[in-house]
Amino acid sequence: REERGRGVGMGRAKGAPRGKKVTSVRIGTDVFEVGNTVSLRPPGPEGDTSPFVAKIYEMGEDPSEGVQCRVSWFYRPEEAHGGRKAFHGEKELFTSNHYDWVAATSINGSCKVHTLKAYQALGQVKESDYFVRFSYKADTGEFKPDRVPVYCMCEMPYNPDLFMVECEGCDEWYHPECLQLTKAEVERMNHFVCPDCTQKHLKESRTNSTGNKGNKQAPGSGGGPAAAAGNKKPRLG
């Protein structure tokens, strides 16, 4: 977040502290240790309140400035080269190779940065919960990985904030709106089969008609509803 001066105005030391190394620091009633992920107060203009997020890599006690923390910053999509895309989740961050020394007194509190898979498994997402799936080189603007799986007919990478439904025929995942459906309509379905699989199934039925009557399940349906009220997620590689 260069435009807000990441590290600037946060009591940043010019280099490593001159005093002894420490492994923890007490801020109020909370204790923060090396290895913790923390939120830090932004030094930007009033009203710009979204916190910085960083991981503490080392600490040192400076005789004149108190405890300083060497942190690795997490970037939000809008802070990185290329900006925020439609597939970026609201709580998505990027790990980065951007390090700074900052004053321990700028720490707001603890937070958790999960893998995407762990984030999907959360029963409740708290304000302090985030997730990462990309690393970002702040000096070059490069991302790793540079490719991820895409889903739906829109061919967009998975966004955990957007509801998706799995086709029982081909196991592909779709956004209801891309099929001119609503989430409510999908949730009322006992089975979901995408348009391509529906057409394929109809052609096979006409070609190989056996005269059997009664309810037929979509190919590979497994007998259960595919749309689980928002808690089914695409399986990422």
6: pLDDT confidence band, cut at 50, 70 and 90?
low
pLDDT of residue 158: 93
Q: What is the pLDDT of residues 62-121, one digit of tens each?
A: 888 899 999 999 999 999 999 999 999 999 999 999 999 999 999 999 999 999 999 999
pLDDT of residue 220: 29
pLDDT of residue 44: 60
Whole-angstrom distance, CA of residue 26 vs CA of residue 214: 69
Q: Cα dihedral angle (131, 135, 141, 143), rounded to 10 degrees? A: -100
Sign of CA dihedral 72, 124, 78, 172: positive
Whole-angstrom distance, CA of residue 228 vs CA of residue 106: 42
pLDDT of residue 234: 34
pLDDT of residue 25: 94
Q: What is the pLDDT of residues 174-233, one digit of tens each?
A: 999 999 999 999 999 998 999 999 988 887 777 766 554 443 322 223 322 223 333 343
Q: Are strands 156-157 and 150-151 parallel, antiparallel or unpaired?
A: antiparallel
pTM score > 0.85 for this model? no
Q: Name the percent of the chain lying above pLDDT 90.
A: 64
Q: Cα dihedral angle (34, 39, 45, 48), rounded to 10 degrees? A: 160
Q: What is the pLDDT of residues 151-164, one digit of tens each?
A: 999 999 999 999 99
Phi, psi of 165 (to 5 degrees): -130, 145
Q: How many Cα neighbours within 13 Å face the side chain of 135?
A: 7
